Amino acid sequence: MIDLAEELKDVQSVAIAGHIRPDGDAIGSCLGLYLYLKKNYPKIDAAVYLEKIPRAYRIISGVDEVRNEIPQDTACDLFFCLDCADEFRLGAAGEFRKHAKRTICIDHHISNNGFGDLDYIVPDASSTSELVVGILDEEKIPFEAAEALYMGIVHDTGVFRHSCTSPETMEMAARLMRRGIDGSKIVNATYYDKSYQQRLIHGKALLESSLLKDGKVIFSYVPRDDMEFFGVETSDLDGIVETLVGTYGVEVAIFLYETEPGVYKVSMRSKSSVDVSRVAQHFSGGGHVRAAGCNMKGTAYGVLELLLSQIEPQLEGKDSD
């Protein structure tokens, strides 16, 4: 556990950043901590740096204060690296790691081996947002910070449906709800509500999915051309892999989308018998036992075959290479 008040003693400048292509947990944890510091430590010059915030999350207070460009001078007293499994996934924000006097890494990815001066890594936690809530003074959490952190927990637990949801997760969520937030509004606006274009691309991905390995694996992918045709961004594809893994009889869902010609972002989900983090790590990725991802080059079906070569032994109760 981190003693936040102790860590902030004599600190004048703080930078906060999360992983590239930020998701709900990265955005929620970063903004939650930032808004807490802004309210309770007004003399500290705090700033949060993230890549472009997807449309769904822009209802959260403080989004307009997020900085997308990394300054030339990245020296600061303290750098918080949140929800990032390794320093390479910080992208350009990794410069803070190099020049900060001290770095604190808070994360819940099982693949994180620690790269801060102080590491608070709890793989069993539902989300980094949950861990951030735990280091804050509950009575001092501002309403706006509570909204952001609740959103982060909601997204990494699939609205409290995933196996990572623990009694502690629910207790942290309850702390945030006691700050007066409208949990249902946050869930609907950031998780369930989709644009018409999103519904179309989600439908196409489901319509063109395939069942493999006697129905234990489901696969789908979205090429770049389809994204351009429907006018969607990568963040608009969020939720497809979760829908796929909810198919009856399926153990593993594999979803790919093309980030550039011949390069695919891989997302995997599993229900009980397959550790997809092991598969992702084999291909230089990472994540959690039931949710993981990586980047791979080749054709969509070539990537699929490589992934299956690692998944199949686990389906058969054998160790993969």
Q: Which residues are CB-contacts of 318 (< 8 A; sequence separation ≥ 6)? A: none
Examine the domain organization and report whether 45 and 182 are in the same domain: yes
Element (H, E) at 203: helix 196-207
Q: Which residues are CB-contacts of 153 (< 8 A; sequence separation ≥ 6)? A: 25, 28, 126, 127, 129, 130, 133, 169, 172, 173, 176
Q: Are 302 and 266 in contact (CB under 8 A)?
A: no
The encoded tokens of residue 71 equal 């300054």
Examine the domain organization and report whether 179 and 45 are in the same domain: yes
List strand residue ranges (DSSP E) for 66-216, in order: 78-82, 103-107, 118-121, 210-212
> Region 236-263: what's the mean pLDDT?
95
Examine the domain organization and report whether 139 and 9 are in the same domain: yes
SS3 319: coil
> Region 56-70: what's the mean pLDDT?
94
Note whether residue 320 is domain-resident.
no
Give the whole-number percent of the chain exceeding pLDDT 90.
Answer: 90
Q: Which domain holds residue 142?
A: 4-192
What b/e string do you get for 282-321 counting C-beta neighbours within 10 Å, with b at 16 or more? ebebbbbbbbbbbebeeebeebbebbbebbbebbeeeebe
> Region 71-99: what's the mean pLDDT?
94
Tell me the pLDDT band of 286, cut-offs 50, 70 and 90: confident
> Region 64-83: what's the mean pLDDT?
95
Per residue in 105-117, pLDDT (tens digit) is 999 998 888 999 9
Q: Of 50, 105, 99, which is closest to residue 83 (Cα–Cα)?
A: 105
Instruction: Single out the residue in 131, 164, 192 at which a domain terminates.
Output: 192
d(CA 247, CA 218): 8
Q: Of 3, 15, 13, 4, which is closest to residue 77 (Cα–Cα)?
A: 13
Note whether residue 321 is domain-resident.
no
Examine the domain organization and report whether 49 and 101 are in the same domain: yes
- DSSP-assigned letter for residue 45: E
pTM higher than 0.85: yes
Q: Which residues are CB-contacts of 202 (< 8 A; sequence separation ≥ 6)? A: 194, 237, 239, 240, 243
Tell me the pLDDT band of 319, cut-offs 50, 70 and 90: low
Note whether residue 168 is domain-resident.
yes
Mean pLDDT of the chain: 95
Examine the domain organization and report whether 181 and 91 are in the same domain: yes
Q: Which residues are CB-contacts of 204 (< 8 A; sequence separation ≥ 6)? A: 222, 226, 230
Examine the domain organization and report whether 264 and 282 are in the same domain: yes
Examine the domain organization and report whether 158 and 229 are in the same domain: no
Per residue in 1-21, pLDDT (tens digit) is 899 999 999 999 999 999 999
Considering its fold, how many domains does the chain have in total? 2
pLDDT for 287 equals 84
Note whether residue 85 is domain-resident.
yes
The encoded tokens of residue 28 equal 């929620």
The encoded tokens of residue 268 equal 């995997």
Instruction: Single out the residue in 192, 225, 243 at which a domain terminates.
Output: 192
CATH number (domain holding residue 98): 3.90.1640.10
Examine the domain organization and report whether 35 and 144 are in the same domain: yes
CATH number (domain holding residue 246): 3.10.310.30
Q: Which residues are CB-contacts of 156 (< 8 A; sequence separation ≥ 6)? A: 23, 24, 25, 108, 126, 127, 128, 129, 162, 164
Note whether residue 47 is domain-resident.
yes
Q: Are 135 and 4 in contact (CB under 8 A)?
A: yes
Tell me the pLDDT band of 51, cut-offs 50, 70 and 90: very high
Examine the domain organization and report whether 167 and 146 are in the same domain: yes
Alpha helices (H) in 101-192, listed in sequence order? 128-135, 143-157, 167-177, 183-187
Instruction: Single out the residue in 192, 226, 251 at which a domain terminates.
Output: 192
Examine the domain organization and report whether 293 and 306 are in the same domain: yes
Note whether residue 294 is domain-resident.
yes
Examine the domain organization and report whether 65 and 45 are in the same domain: yes
Per residue in 143-191, pLDDT (tens digit) is 999 999 999 999 999 999 888 899 999 999 999 999 999 999 999 999 9
Note whether residue 151 is domain-resident.
yes
Give the whole-number percent of the chain exceeding pLDDT 70.
Answer: 99
Examine the domain organization and report whether 308 and 240 are in the same domain: yes
Note whether residue 133 is domain-resident.
yes
> Region 263-277: what's the mean pLDDT?
95
